[in-house]
Amino acid sequence: MNALQGKTAVVTGGTSGIGLATARLFAAEGARVFVTGRRKDVLDAAVAEIGGDVTGVQVDSSDLADLERLYETVGGPIDVLFANAGGGEFLTLEQVTEKHFDDTFGTNVKGTLFTVKKALPLLVDGASVILTASTAGTKGNEAFGVYGASKAAVRSFARTWAQELSGRGIRVNSISPGPVDTPGISGLVGGGEAAVQLTSALASTVPLGRMGRPEEIASVALFLATDASSFVTGAELFADGGANQV
């Protein structure tokens, strides 16, 4: 339980779902962890739940001043950066609005871009940068076009930055989760019975026949965070129960 002993990790969107599970795992593996979230009460609850050496920083990833404050708070070398904050909404082409586009790209694309760019001075040589993309960035998904386009951009960022940062030995990879059972997914349909139906519908699209658990993405992030993946960069890891293959 000390794969990240002595390391500093930043996990954005660490108050819920995949980010929360990853922050918990990184802390359990001995890392000093900084987690971000937008709401102070939710952030405080997550910090208390994660335990270990964890610091919460209230950040909206689409806000550059917030990101600068995040890295001022970290104030020292970063070994692992998990740029995970993101989200979406189900809207068809007929339904999409400019605000929906700006919000989705603001967090998923601009937020991911500047989360990594503003970290550059602090990233140690040999650091691991991990981006959360999605199978939606590869496959078509009805009413998820803007989200899918934003995650396609994230996949592209990882491939490009892997090349640009290779001179410093910094590895950059993306994880594309398939459907994972998180508050973010149930929130897409407002929770309740609609969420139960969505979960069941999503599970039926997965060859393994179920949704993933946040911990099953966290363990992939841990692999990418450690030297176990020391020759892996520019890769896209699909943690999706086989969903990308069908």
> How near is the Cβ of 167 to ligand NAD at its closest, in Å?
28
> How near is the Cβ of 63 to ligand NAD at its closest, in Å?
8
Judged by CB under 6 A, which stretch of 2-10, 53-61, 89-97, 164-172 contacts ligand NAD?
53-61
Specify burial of residue 73 (Cβ count, 10 A radius: 0-12, 13-18, 19+). Answer: middle
Judged by CB under 6 A, which stretch of 116-124, 138-146, 181-189, 223-231 contacts ligand NAD?
181-189
C-alpha angle with apex 203: 186 to 88, nearest 5 degrees? Answer: 40
Assess 210 for contact with ligand NAD (CB under 6 A). no
Nearer residue to ligand NAD within complex by CB, 128 or 132: 132
- The CB-nearest residue to ligand NAD is 17
> How near is the Cβ of 135 to ligand NAD at its closest, in Å?
6
Torsion of the alpha carbons at 60, 28, 116 and 18, rounded to the nearest 10? -60
**Chain residues 29-48 in contact with ligand NAD, contact rule CB under 6 A:** 36-38
Judged by CB under 6 A, which stretch of 22-30, 49-57, 114-122, 172-180 contacts ligand NAD?
172-180
Spatial separation of the C-alpha atoms in residues 149 and 136, rounded to whole Å: 8
Judged by CB under 6 A, which stretch of 68-76, 159-167, 174-182, 190-198 contacts ligand NAD?
174-182
**Greatest Cα pair distance in the chain:** 51
How many other CB atoms are there within 10 angstroms of residue 138's CB atom?
18
Spatial separation of the C-alpha atoms in residues 24 and 51, rounded to whole Å: 7
> How near is the Cβ of 169 to ligand NAD at its closest, in Å?
26
Tokens encoding 43: 């952030």
What size, in residues, is the chain? 246
Spatial separation of the C-alpha atoms in residues 13 and 17, rounded to whole Å: 9
Spatial separation of the C-alpha atoms in residues 41 and 202, rounded to whole Å: 30
Assess 134 for contact with ligand NAD (CB under 6 A). yes
**Chain residues 94-113 in contact with ligand NAD, contact rule CB under 6 A:** 107, 111
List the catalytic residues.
147
Spatial separation of the C-alpha atoms in residues 85 and 62, rounded to whole Å: 10
By CB under 6 A, name the binding residues for ligand NAD: 13, 15-19, 36-38, 59-62, 84-87, 107, 111, 132, 134, 177, 179-180, 182-185
